[in-house]
Structure formats: C-alpha cells, structure tokens
Amino acid sequence: MRKLYRFHGGIHPPSNKMQSTRNGIARAPLPAKLIVPLQQHAGEAAKPVVQAGDHVLKGQLIGMPDGFVSSAVHAPTSGTIAAIDLQLIAHPSGLPNLCATLIPDGKDEWVEIKPVDYRSHSSDDLQQLLRMAGVVGLGGAAFPSDIKLRTGKQKITTLILNGAECEPYITCDDMLMRERAAEIVQGAEILRFMLDATEVLIGVEDNKPEAIAALQQAISADSAVLEQNRRHEVVAIPTIYPGGGAKQLIRVITGLEVPSGKLPTDVGVQCFNVATAWSVYRALVYGEPLLSRVITITGNVRHAQNYEVLIGTPIDELVALSEALPDTDHYIMGGPMMGMPLPAVHVPAVKATNCIIAASAKLFPPPPPAMPCIRCTRCVEVCPAELQPQDLYWFAQSKEFGRAQVFSLFDCIECGACSYVCPSHIPLVQYYRFSKSEIRAREHDKQLADQARERHEFREHRIEREKREKADKLAAREKATQTAKLASSQPSATQPTELEASRAHIREVAQSGTEPNATEIDIP
C-alpha cells in the first residue's frame, strides 16, 4: 500500500454521481447541424483553412493551429461547411466567437488517417502529431497537450493520470475508466514514453471502485506494460474536494508540493487527465484526431447519462436526449463548484465540456444575499492552496491588486471551496476572478504602453537623426561648391592631383629597379 499525503483544507460536498452511472456511455445521434468553434483550447485560436460551401470529410482539418500555444480543429463528421462566422459559444462573457457551421451529409465518411507506431518516432514528432490532431486537456482547462509534453531539459520521473474527478455530478471520466480502461492504460504508456518517465500513477478517488478495478485489470493484462516491467499503478485517493486539482493530486500521491508560480514539471511530475490519455491513444494508434468526447448530462433531467458526443453538437439536442424536466431554468457547463452558467442552451459542446447540469431553483436555490465578511476564517481552513481568502476578498473590494498579488492571488485555483463554506454567502471566487482579469488587463496595457514609449522615443531619435543628416549634407554641399569656386578661379592644369603624383612615384621606383617596400608607397 502506497503512503498517501494530505493537502490543506478541502470540503465534502454531496457527490450526486449515482444518477448518471446507472447506464453505460451511449452514442449521441448525429445532429442536424454542428457548430465547431475555432477556439476550443487555451491560447491562440486556430485559423480557418476551409471556406463556406466546402465539402469536408470526417477528421479533415478545418482550423490550423496558429501560434505557439494553439491546437488544430477538425470536422467531426463529413458534410458541407455552411458558414464561418461569429456564433454564441459557451463562455462566461456570453459573447460570440468564430465558429464553422457544418451540415452533416450523414455518410460519416473518413478522411485518410495514418496510424503511427509511436515507439519508432521521437517525442518531438509525436508532439507535432498531437498538435495537428487537436489533442487538448479534457479535464476542463483544454490546455494543448503537446505543450505539456514539451518538457525540455527537465527530467520527469512521475507521470500522473488524473482520474480523481472530484467535482459533484460529473461522471464522464468515471465511465470512461470503467469502459475503456485498456485504451487509457495504453495512452498512459504513450505519454510515459514521450516524457521518458519512470513510473505512471493513476489517481482515482475511492468513490469509484469500479473504475479502480477496471484500470487494475487493464494494467495486469497489458503486454506493453508487463514486458517493460514499468511501474504502472492505480492509486485510490480519499474523496475530498478538490482532490482532482493538479497540484492537490500531486501532493496527495507523491507528497511533493509544487511551489508558488512553478509548474509540476519543476518537481519532476507531469499530470494528464485520463480522457486526455484516451484521446492521445486514439490520435496516435488509430490516427484519429479529437472529434468527440464523453459528456455527462445530469441534474434536473429524467435520465441522467453519459454520452459520447461529437464536438460541435448543440447542447439543447443533448439535453433533449436526457429529457430535461420542465422546471429547468438554466444550464451549467462543468460541475456545480467550478462550472459556469451557459449563456444559451443552443451553444455547441466543445472539447472542454465535461458535464452539462440542468439546474432548477429547487436543485440549486439562488444564494441568499451576501452579508458582510465577519472574518470567521472558515475559508482559510478549507482553502486547498493555503491562501487567505478573506484578505484576497478585501483587496478585490478595495481594488488593491498589488497587495492581492503579494498574497499569491494567482495560486488560487478557483475551486469555490471558500464560497461553499462562507457563512455570509459571499461569492468569493467571483471577486478573485475579477481581480485576476483586472491584473492581467493592466499588465497587457503596461506592455502596450512600454511598446508605445519605445516607438515614440525611436521616432524622436529618427527625426533628430534625419535633421542632422540633412544639415550635414547641406553643409557638405556648401563646402563643395565653395571649393569648386576656389578651384575654378585658379588654373588647375599646373597642379597634378595627389593620385597622379603617387602613380608617378611608383613608376619611378619601378624604373630604378629597387624592390618597392609596401610601407613606403602610400597610395591614397
């Protein structure tokens, strides 16, 4: 039995996972229309490479990665691109973003796909393949996986697969582990190969015994794992929210603490979601880009279930499959702790969509009005990042962003544990998000201002230089005309030029037979 550690704080919200695990993963039917956003990942949006009216095949590239942190976007099925325009997407702002609308032709015809034997490729090649396959973290942040595999000189000893799934209601990773454990284990082996890690630890919360058993069986049956005698291990971790946070999971499994402002790779660990491992396996062993994912539809619905959903499927069609109850008044994407309310139910499912919760006033009663902070510090007790949430709240209110940064605001993982226990019902996380985005905006403005200053100073310098050069030129011309005047007033024929004089001198030396010394001859 492996020794486990604890992270600070944490809470025990009711898990509500049973509803959606009664049935296996079902395949959602092909919708009449797919809306594929060109930015589904952290970083730069992909650049569209198709036009409205183009016929595309399943798996065909429609968005080219653009920039260092970016990822590809593909057509989830064969059909015709109806439009590339701004569409409402699942984003807390409720603003539209560039999307490709695809009308499926129903043939589901694949583009030519090329499986690769990962063992015969370098890690760099595989990273490029994953980037072009659009593989991003499926835990919710959608960070491009190829960047996380680009560890450079850092030695990774431990690869951790995150199957904790600590948020209430969400069961998509649980069901994936139960049903596709063998593929997850093989995906883990590919990731281990790319990172050259020595061990693979799959962290699963102990409220998912079926998933743990399935993974253990898959590991013992996997020949690639057995023949290399690698250490693959399933680690059952205690069920505490937010045990699935990367830094918290690393702490629990290895006892290592990722320092503030550092990455897990700085302590020799890298972390991937189990669903990401599965999509890495599909992308390399089958050559299939990331076109679908498993999404939990739960909450105020008649049949809560997990569906394998094509990216771009409108969420209202999924909700209809599970039959949302009539008193549903809004929908949450993600879990109840960290998720966000959807701006509209017809927005498309994206790579980051792990769960859709139909919410009603009965299931999630509106929070009572926020009362003043009484400094009870219950938020401090539960904060998994060991911050002082009540102070950060204070700084956000007074807009003292500098002090908030001193108090490690950016270590906040926005898990919502502080808001959950707050007896005054203060929406604390919203204050931290406000502070964070204000700080980011200010830093961006500062950068632009510095750039403008530099350009302005260079312009002043250039104008000054041009003025000087003009003056110099004018002076030189004046001087030239003066000397010309002077020369024309005197007879020039009697005065041999310097060049002619030196040539004559060389001729003399050559005629006299003496070897000319280089230092003696001075040719201008």
Amino acid at 174: D
Q: Which residue number, 361 or 487, has a Cβ lying nearer to other proteins? A: 361
Asked whether position 326 contacts other proteins by CB under 8 A, the answer is: no
CA distances from 410 to 335, 389, 402, 413 (A): 22, 12, 12, 8
Q: 251: part of which helix (H) or strand (E)? A: helix 246-254
Number of alpha helices (DSSP H) and beta strands (DSSP E) in the chain = 15, 17
With contact defined as beta carbons under 8 Å apart, do 439 and 401 qualify? Answer: yes
Smallest distance, other proteins to C-beta of residue 14, A: 6
Smallest distance, other proteins to C-beta of residue 57, A: 29
Q: Which residue number, 110 or 434, has a Cβ lying nearer to other proteins? A: 434
Smallest distance, other proteins to C-beta of residue 281, A: 31
Residue pointed to by tokens 């396996």: 281
Smallest distance, other proteins to C-beta of residue 365, A: 6
Smallest distance, other proteins to C-beta of residue 446, A: 9
Give the largest Cα separation in the chain, rounded. Answer: 118
Residue selected from 367, 423, 496, 516 as contacting other proteins according to rule CB under 8 A: 367
Burial bucket for residue 171 (CB in 10 Å: 0-12, 13-18, 19+): buried
For other proteins (CB under 8 A), the number of binding residues is 59
C-alpha gyration radius of the chain = 33
Q: Which residue number, 320 or 361, has a Cβ lying nearer to other proteins? A: 361
For residue 524, give every residue at least 6 positions away whose Cβ sits within 8 Å of its Cβ, in sequence order, or none.
Answer: 498, 499, 502
Residue selected from 81, 332, 350, 383 as contacting other proteins according to rule CB under 8 A: 332
Q: How many residues in total does the chain contain?
A: 524
For residue 493, give every residue at least 6 positions away whose Cβ sits within 8 Å of its Cβ, in sequence order, or none.
Answer: none
Q: Which residue number, 93 or 120, has a Cβ lying nearer to other proteins? A: 93
For residue 204, give every residue at least 6 positions away whose Cβ sits within 8 Å of its Cβ, in sequence order, or none.
Answer: 163, 164, 177, 211, 212, 215, 234, 235, 236, 237
Q: 38-67: which residues touch other proteins (CB under 8 A)?
A: 39
The window from 9-17, 228-236, 278-286, 485-493 that contacts other proteins (CB under 8 A) reads 9-17
Per-residue mark of binding to other proteins, 440-479 (x: CB under 8 A) = -x---x--xxxxxx-xxxxx--------------------
Residue selected from 1, 53, 93, 372 as contacting other proteins according to rule CB under 8 A: 93
The window from 48-56, 91-99, 186-194, 313-321 that contacts other proteins (CB under 8 A) reads 91-99
Asked whether position 417 contacts other proteins by CB under 8 A, the answer is: yes
Return the ∠ at Cα 298 (arms to 292 and 304), rounded to 5°: 90
Contacting positions for other proteins (CB under 8 A): 13-14, 16, 39, 89, 91-93, 95, 97, 168, 330, 332, 334-341, 357, 359, 362-370, 414, 416-417, 419-420, 427, 429-431, 433-434, 436-438, 441, 445, 448-453, 455-459
